[in-house]
Homo-oligomer: A and B are copies of this chain.
Amino acid sequence: MKELVFIGLGLHNEKDISVNGIEEIKTADTVYAELFTSPMPNLSLVNIEKTIKRKIFVLSRKDLEDESGKTLLESAKRGKTVLLVPGDPLIATTHVALRIEAETLGVKTRVVHGASIISAVIGLSGLHNYKFGKSVTIPFNEEYGGISETPYDVVAQNKSVGLHTLCLLDIKAEEKRYMTIREGLKVLLEVEEERKQHIITSETLTVGIAKAGSKKPRVKAEFLKELLKYDFGGPPHSIIFPGKLHFMEAEALVVLAGAPEKVRETAR
């Protein structure tokens, strides 16, 4: 059967794929993977290859973006082709573009979902999902060509209506460079220094989350100046700026994320 199946690998290691995902790979004619849209710290494709008893071909950003997935799509025109991707497929726009391209060429597409960094990080924070506003990615300065003020504006906009903000942090997986929580906070503090709107200051309650999906994720809520000193270990790192806290959210931050006890007093 000629089709392209996007399969989510989940968050941390090669066992975060679903049982359905493994079964789909076993019946594929050709298996590709891309590992540049998100970090998967403990992934071993070799272990998946052993389970499925076939070779996995890794495609680069160049293959999938600059060359519009030519190799992948040619394969899907010949037989069942799967693309393994970190997290949940289609959250990365690269995958959506490939899917549009495939369907336009008459190739049927399907998705096997995996755990997503967005849902995982929101869940680990203990904050209520429906109180998150727009999310944003903090880019590396050299990627943006200066300091992007967009993340600061998004946090400000969400806070003005009491909403939380999830900040994902830039990655350049092919160079093994992952922005840390400390680096992300410093970018935001530079914008604060310039704008002086008191949106993100050393006294701002901030949640840092690292290694979501591993057996020992690090989740720490603290005032920003203290959080800058905290050792979060390896990637991926994310930051949440809470808006107005419900009392149960404050309790979650204190009990599950080690926030200072006085955070309880700010809730309602």
Identify the A interface with B (CB < 8 A).
8, 10-11, 13-20, 22-23, 88-91, 93, 95-97, 99-100, 103-104, 110-111, 113-116, 118-120, 122-124, 126, 128-137, 157, 161, 163, 212-213, 215, 217, 248, 251-252, 255-256
Across the interface, A256 reaches (CB within 8 A) one of B88, B100, B137, namely B100
Residues from chain B with a CB closer than 8 A to the CB of A255 are 100, 103-104
Q: List 18 A-B residue pairs with CB atoms under 8 Å apart, sorted by A's residue number.
A: A10-B18, A15-B18, A16-B18, A18-B18, A18-B114, A19-B19, A90-B123, A90-B124, A96-B248, A96-B256, A113-B213, A118-B118, A130-B134, A131-B134, A132-B134, A132-B135, A133-B133, A133-B134
**Inter-chain contact A113/B23, CB cutoff 8 Å:** no
Residues from chain B with a CB closer than 8 A to the CB of A13 are 20
**Inter-chain contact B99/A126, CB cutoff 8 Å:** yes
- Most chain B beta carbons < 10 A, residue from A15, A90, A128: A90
Given A88-B123, A100-B255, 8 other A-B residues pairs in contact with their CB atoms under 8 A: A13-B20, A88-B120, A93-B248, A100-B248, A103-B255, A119-B119, A129-B135, A157-B161
**Inter-chain contact B122/A91, CB cutoff 8 Å:** yes
Residues from chain B with a CB closer than 8 A to the CB of A89 are 123
**Inter-chain contact B18/A115, CB cutoff 8 Å:** yes
Across the interface, A115 reaches (CB within 8 A) one of B113, B131, B215, B251, namely B113
Give the residue name and chain of the B residue nearest to A117 (CB): B119
Across the interface, A88 reaches (CB within 8 A) one of B14, B91, B111, B116, namely B116
Residues from chain B with a CB closer than 8 A to the CB of A135 are 129-130, 132
Interchain nearest-CB distance for A160 vs B (Å): 11
- Most chain B beta carbons < 10 A, residue from A17, A103, A133: A133
Given contacts A93-B248, A118-B119, contact A113 B256 (CB under 8 A): no
Given contacts A103-B256, A255-B103, A256-B99, contact A111 B124 (CB under 8 A): yes
Given contacts A18-B17, A103-B255, A256-B103, contact A129 B161 (CB under 8 A): no
